[in-house]
Structure formats: C-alpha cells, structure tokens
Amino acid sequence: MNIAKIGALIKYERVKQDISIEKLAKGVCSESVIRRTEAGERGADFFVLDMIVSRLGRSDNKVELIQDEKDYELYELREKLTGAIENKSYDKAAKLLADYEALVDIESPLHLQFIKMIKGFISEEKYSDFVEADRSYYQALTLTLPEFSLEKLENYLLGENELILLTLYLNNNEKLGENLLRTYGITILDYIERHFYDEEIKCNLYGRVSLIVGNSYIKNNRPDEALQVILKAEQMLTGNGLLLNISKLLENILFISKNINTTLYQDYKKMRDALKDLYVEYGFEWNTKDINLLTGYKQRNVNIISEIVKQERVIRGISQQNLADDLDIDVKTISRIECGRAKPKRGTIQKILDYFNIEAETVESRIITDDFRLLDMEREIAKLTTFQKYGEAEHLFNELKQRIPLDNKKNRQYVEYMSALFDLRIRQCDVNEVADRLIKAFSIIRGEMGLDNVGRFVPSRAEAIIINGIAVCYEAIGETDKSIELLEKTVMAYERSKVNMKYRYIPLALLCVTLCSAYEETNHFEKAVQYADKTINYSISSLRGDFLGFLLEEKTYTLDRMTGDNTKSKSKYIQSYRIRCLMKASERQKAPLRRAFQKWYGEELH
C-alpha cells in the first residue's frame, strides 16, 4: 500500500478516536513524522507504521506497510528470531539477535525495545535470571512508554507489542515475589477488549495474555476469576476460527472447572477430547506447555509479489529480458525477484503492478478503501456468509456498497460477486444466470480469457472465492465434471506456489471443501478422502478450525458410502459434531448432521 493511502488510514482513525498526534507519537517517533505520513509524504519506516496502526487498535494484517527491501529483511529476521525462541533454540536466537543489532539503527526506540525484550526473554527462560530479565523488560517498556504507570493505564496508547512486553514484565515480576499481575491482570485484559477494534488482533492478543493472567489467578487460589478470563479467550478465538494456543486454553478450562462447575467440565471435556483425538490422528502435538507470548498470528504476505511477477509475465508470453527492457530494470533483478531471492523495492513493485494493470495495493484484500471501518465491514460480511447468515450479511453489504469507491476494478468485482451470491442464496435466482454473472465478475480483473487461464496463475483470495462460486453453480446445474476440473486446476495452482500455505488458508480450504464434496457426490471416494485428509492437515498446521468438523463428517460419510456400512461410524460423527460445537458453528450448519444422526442411529446429538 502506498504511503498516501497509509497516511489517509492513520489520519482517519486518529481523528475518529480523537487522539492527538502528540499522544500517538509519544515514545515512538517525532510528531513531524506522523504529520508527514498523514500528508502522504515519506515520513515513517515499517516498524513505526506498524506501531502506530497497532496503537490505533487496528490489525496491520489488513494493509501492506512494508515499503522497502531493508524493512523486509529486518521483518523476516525478527520472524526467524522469535521462531528460534519458540523452539527454545536460545543459542541460535542469540546469534540472530547479534545479526539484527548489526543491521538496525540502534538509536531507534522500537529496534532497541525489541532487542532488550529478546534479551530479557532469554535471561528469564534460559538462565532463570529473573532480576536481569526484570531490568531488560522495564528498560524496553519505558523506551516507548516513558514514565509509565499501571495505575494510569487508560492514559496511554499501547500497541500489541507493548502489551505483550508489559505482560512479560509483570509475569517475570511475579517470579520475584511481586503481585502486580494479580492486581492488574483484569485491567490489562479489559484494556485489550476495549481498545482493539479489529476482532482478529483482539482475540489473538486476549488469548495469549489471558493464559498468563489465568495462570496467576490459579496459583493464587482465585479459580472463578481464572475460569472467567480463559473461557472468554477460548470463545473469542474459536468464534473467529482460530486454534492459536487452543490446547492450553482447553486444558486450563478443564483443570479449573473440574471442581467448581461439573456441567461445564463435562461439556468442554467432550469437545477437548474430540479435537485432541483429531490432532493425534493426524500427527500433531497436543501442546499443553507454557505458551510463548512472542508468537502471534501474523499473516503478512511478504513473498507473494515474486509469484505475481512470474505468473503474469508467463501468461502474457513476455520474456524476462523484454519485461526488464520495458520497465528499465536489470534482467538479473527480474530473475532474482521471480525466484524469491530478492524483495523488490516499493518503486519497483509499483512499476510492475502498473505494467500488468494490477489494481491492488495489497494482493489479498477484497476491497480497496481508505477506511479501516470498511475493511472491518467486509470481514464481518465474510464471517456472516461463512455461518450462512445471508440476511444479516446482505444488510451490511448494502451499507458497504454505498460507501466504497467503484472507480476501480477490484471493488466493482467484489460488488458484482456479492450481489450474485445473495441473489442465489436468498432469492433463489436461476443458477445459470448467477453462473454467468460470476464469470463476468471474474473477468473484470482477468479479462474475457481469465477463466480459460485458471491453473496457470495463483489467484487472489477474491478470485478464488469467485471460482468456488462458479464451481458450485456448475455442480447445481449438473455439470459436476466441469466444476471439478475448475476446482482441481485452482487447487493445483496453489499447491505449486512457493508461498507458505498458512497465507492461503481461507481460499484454499474453501476450494478443497467444495472439491471434497464434489468428489463424494460423483462417487470418486478415494479422492474425496484424500482431499479431506489433506485439508484437515492444512487447517491444523495453519492454526485454523473453521472447516474441521465438516471435513471429518464428510470423510466419515464418504467412507460409509465406500463400504455401505455406517454402523462403526457413530463415534466419528459425534466427534465431528463436538468439534463444530467447539468452533461455534451455527445451528443451521449443525442441523443436517443432527437430522441424519437421528435417522441413522435413533439418537439425538448433544
């Protein structure tokens, strides 16, 4: 996303929340940096922008803030460093930290804060030197929060990283015999709930911090308070389809509720056992160790641009040399970008996007807007449609449609797709007509030959969702083979991608679920089971549970059809139902299995 767009987003949020530039900038950068950024000038680097967006209570996953090659390098180094710590490879982490110190401006408060936080974490976890950890954490905290006072928490603007740092500091402080965490744990959680407007960042952050606060309450014989905060965290996470730290949350719920709420204990034990058995069956660790506060749920798509360059060039039949000549770029640079060995600078990215007429600041967003609130609305619409609440979704969509600019192709495509979807699901319009409308929506970006080229490029999330809709329509009008072919080509394009699959979860899982059902309905049983297994693996490794219950049910039903016998499948259907309950599936989503189970086994599912 270009700096003008970022500046507009920041100014909009700051003014809406009545936050002064002085308060937003405090401890992070000068006020003039924010003024220049809001004016669309080059004022702040990625790490400053990241902190500002987070302090405004927003998720930086929705916008691409990284502006140049060095930012990419430092960001990826941080990712490697926190990954080493998560694996308890502290010597490797120390070496990576030394590399990081050599690259950054050591006078920058944000880089210095990160360095001191990591040093504090290593002191605490590797050496159990809680005094040194306390010193490092406090120094790190006060770099961006000078004269910080817990009693005046509401007077400060804290971003995600600052709240994690504060929790680390208080947790370590408790090991020194202090009780600040017990005193201020709920205050911090309440701050997170009120301050962060984006559900994704809120539930992610609340989930991690709640485990630390809950453990403190457990140690200090305050089980009711511990259960309250951990239950709330679990409901936030699973309600958003996330499995981050789910094993630890569920085990804590069982540990606490066993002696104070028998009914709750029994319900959660059934759901825990259902999910745990699935983890074990597919070879995933059911990790109940202490969580790593440093590891969150980031989905930054930093590697996708290399993929776009190559696929757009190949589709158009342009050689690397010709592209380099047209763009006045060294052909070696094009080669390095396509191989993922170089992260292109922002100016280079824009040249490439303009050359290929790609109208996107961030390739995975479905709409382009200067308003964070509209991005939130789009996400809520997607969530409502996932839960098949089409009436509520359409009402919100009609409001969004009036407010997004339709002078760019991406927004027009989104509006055309959603309008067709609601006509199909709510008004039961002719399926052939809806299919034609979806194909036209797809061609807004890709052109008339776009659908013919499916499989030759990795589609964006928006494109994948439209392809899935077209495939569903094909199946509804009896052209199942055509549906399967379209889905297979799209899935294979994703599987050839070098980009980490976790960045592709939503579109790829959706396509695989549809493909799995299509294979089962056409008696391609082995392929249906193969795709169910593949997508379950993919979901758990991506820390997502949206489709787990359905996939297990679909796999079980397919195996029953293969054998002609479902007498041994009762426990699997119960397992899939309990996973759906855990992941907060709607009654409408659970109803078909409830009816089938009653018919097959003469019992109610509870």
Please spell the DSSP secondary structure of 29-94, one letter per residue.
S-HHHHHHHHTTSS---HHHHHHHHHHTT--GGGS----SHHHHHHHHHHHHHHHHHHTT-HHHHH
Give me the mean pLDDT over the 547-566 stretch: 95
Mention every residue, 6+ apart, whose C-beta is less than 8 A from residue 90: 84, 122, 125, 126
Give me the mean pLDDT over the 421-446 stretch: 93
Is pLDDT at 344 greater than 70 in this prediction?
no
Is pLDDT at 61 greater than 70 in this prediction?
no
At residue 69, the pLDDT reads 63
Is pLDDT at 120 greater than 90 in this prediction?
yes
Is pLDDT at 49 greater than 70 in this prediction?
yes
Residue 286 burial by Cβ neighbours in a 10 Å radius (0-12, 13-18, 19+): middle
Locus of tokens 């759906």: 580
Is pLDDT at 518 greater than 70 in this prediction?
yes
Locus of tokens 């929705």: 62
Q: Which of 36-40, 395-399, 403-407, 449-453 has the lowest mean pLDDT?
A: 449-453
Give me the mean pLDDT over the 203-222 stretch: 92
At residue 365, the pLDDT reads 59
How many other C-beta atoms can be found within 10 angstroms of the C-beta atom of residue 114? Answer: 24
At residue 292, the pLDDT reads 72
3-state secondary structure 446-504: HCCCCHHHCCCCCCCHHHHHHHHHHHHHHHHCCCHHHHHHHHHHHHHHHHHCCCCHHHH
Compute the distance between CA of residue 334 and CA of residue 131 in angstroms, rounded to an integer: 51
Residue 182: which pLDDT band, with cuts at 50, 70 and 90? confident
At residue 362, the pLDDT reads 43
Locus of tokens 């000038």: 41
Residue range 401-411, pLDDT digits in tens: 999 988 888 89
How many other C-beta atoms can be found within 10 angstroms of the C-beta atom of residue 115? Answer: 21
Q: Which two tokens stand for residue 189?
A: 């959680």
The highest-confidence range among 26-30, 46-50, 152-156, by mean pLDDT, is 26-30
Residue 298: which pLDDT band, with cuts at 50, 70 and 90? low
- According to DSSP, residue 344 is labeled P
The answer to whether the CB of 511 falls within 8 A of the CB of 257 is no
At residue 250, the pLDDT reads 97
Is pLDDT at 223 greater than 60 in this prediction?
yes
At residue 59, the pLDDT reads 74
DSSP 278-325: HHHHTT-----SPP-TT-------TTHHHHHHHHHHHHTT--HHHHHH
Compute the distance between CA of residue 205 and CA of residue 191 in angstroms, rounded to an integer: 11
At residue 366, the pLDDT reads 73
Give me the mean pLDDT over the 385-413 stretch: 90
Give me the mean pLDDT over the 64-86 stretch: 78
Closest CA to 144 of 174, 125, 164, 126: 164
Q: Which of 69-73, 184-188, 501-505 has the lowest mean pLDDT?
A: 69-73
At residue 363, the pLDDT reads 42
The highest-confidence range among 55-69, 273-287, 343-357, 501-515, by mean pLDDT, is 273-287
Amino acid letter at 99? D
The answer to whether the CB of 321 falls within 8 A of the CB of 331 is yes
The answer to whether the CB of 217 falls within 8 A of the CB of 185 is yes
Residue 291: which pLDDT band, with cuts at 50, 70 and 90? confident
Residue range 451-505, pLDDT digits in tens: 888 988 888 888 999 999 999 999 999 999 999 999 999 999 888 877 777 778 8
Residue range 521-530, pLDDT digits in tens: 999 999 999 9
Residue 68: which pLDDT band, with cuts at 50, 70 and 90? low
Give me the mean pLDDT over the 363-377 stretch: 72
Compute the distance between CA of residue 198 and CA of residue 233 in angstroms, rounded to an integer: 15
At residue 447, the pLDDT reads 82
Is pLDDT at 375 greater than 60 in this prediction?
yes
Is pLDDT at 302 greater than 80 in this prediction?
no
